[in-house]
């Protein structure tokens, strides 16, 4: 998909070579010989741009030339002219805008989770903040990255050699989930745009496990008030029911949803009782047998 889109936008291979190398006279062998140096310069430039602007979306003025370079990298790798392993090591040595990370992922040059696994703890924390900001700004690329991490973290058990990557995905998701916006939900909508996007793009099983993790985060994150204070103040709150309904409904049944709520509340050191009351309200409005289920709830 990435390649077809890029070809459509660039018009032809001739134009792609021109955009990437500044000349249409370069031969394929010359391009292959010069490419690693040019590509490294591109990565350096994007790293500096990220440091200076703190922006994870590419500069629109330079975006087409970046796409052209990524397209050519894909072509050279697919023809065996360029080593994908060497290119991956090069990419992992830079701190890049997240839109470029996703672009490289789509071009099958380096899976985004392998890039994330190369980050140290400090850089991973920075990525979690940046991802959450992109979600708040409505950038779809942010949810695409979260989706890839969730598919690995909550999907079928991967090969043993991917265990470090899976741990990185869990660590990143744990940090991102606490920063994702829930409160700004329009009650007329199904739920937050990013949550709807994840539900539509992940398998039901993976989304259910991600939803369970998100629900646990909401139930165990500050602010903490007593259950009595929560009951007294509940009329003051705007309840983002659509989001919580999506999380509960993903569990498949009222029994599974209630079991999840029960486990989280019983195991938590502290409970966010505001979120707990929202969950109960959502549960009641979602399931016809809610009263029966809750009558003996402990």
What local confidence, expressed as pLDDT, does residue 187 receive? Answer: 52
Q: What is the mean pLDDT of residues 127-143?
A: 95
What local confidence, expressed as pLDDT, does residue 240 receive? Answer: 63
CB atoms within 10 A of CB 90: 16
What local confidence, expressed as pLDDT, does residue 10 receive? Answer: 44
Mean pLDDT of the chain, nearest integer: 86
What local confidence, expressed as pLDDT, does residue 16 receive? Answer: 54
Question: pTM of this prediction?
Answer: 0.85
Structure confidence by residue, pLDDT tens digits, 195-245: 999 999 999 999 999 999 999 999 998 877 777 887 787 777 666 678 899
What local confidence, expressed as pLDDT, does residue 14 receive? Answer: 52
Structure confidence by residue, pLDDT tens digits, 236-273: 766 667 889 999 999 999 999 999 999 999 998 898 88
Structure confidence by residue, pLDDT tens digits, 10-65: 445 555 555 555 554 555 566 667 888 999 999 999 999 999 999 999 999 999 99
Q: What is the mean pLDDT of residues 91-111?
A: 97
């Amino acid at each position: 998909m990435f390649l077809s889109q890029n070809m459509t936008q660039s018009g032809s291979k001739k134009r792609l070579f021109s955009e990437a190398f500044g000349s249409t006279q370069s031969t394929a062998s010359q391009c292959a010989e010069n490419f690693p140096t040019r590509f490294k310069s591109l990565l350096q430039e994007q790293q500096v741009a990220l440091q200076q602007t703190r922006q994870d979306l590419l500069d629109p003025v330079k975006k087409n030339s970046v796409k052209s370079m990524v397209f050519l990298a894909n072509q050279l790798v697919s023809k065996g002219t360029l080593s994908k392993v060497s290119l991956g090591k090069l990419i992992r040595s830079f701190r890049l805008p997240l839109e470029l990370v996703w672009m490289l992922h789509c071009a099958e040059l380096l899976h985004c989770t392998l890039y994330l696994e190369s980050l140290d703890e400090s850089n991973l924390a920075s990525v979690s903040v940046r991802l959450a900001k992109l979600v708040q700004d409505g950038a779809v690329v942010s949810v695409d990255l979260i989706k890839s991490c969730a598919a690995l973290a909550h999907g079928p058990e991967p090969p043993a050699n991917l265990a470090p990557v899976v741990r990185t995905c869990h660590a990143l998701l744990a940090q991102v989930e606490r920063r994702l916006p829930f409160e700004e939900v329009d009650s007329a909508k199904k739920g937050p745009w990013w949550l709807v996007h994840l539900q539509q793009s992940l398998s039901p099983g993976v989304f259910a496990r991600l939803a369970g993790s998100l629900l646990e985060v909401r139930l165990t994150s500050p602010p903490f008030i007593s259950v009595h204070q929560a009951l007294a103040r509940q009329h003051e709150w705007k309840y983002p029911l659509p989001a919580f309904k999506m999380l509960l409904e993903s569990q498949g049944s009222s029994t599974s949803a209630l079991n999840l709520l029960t486990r989280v509340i019983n195991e938590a050191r502290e409970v966010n009782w505001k979120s707990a009351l929202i969950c109960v309200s959502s549960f009641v409005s979602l399931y016809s047998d809610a009263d029966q289920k809750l009558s003996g709830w402990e």
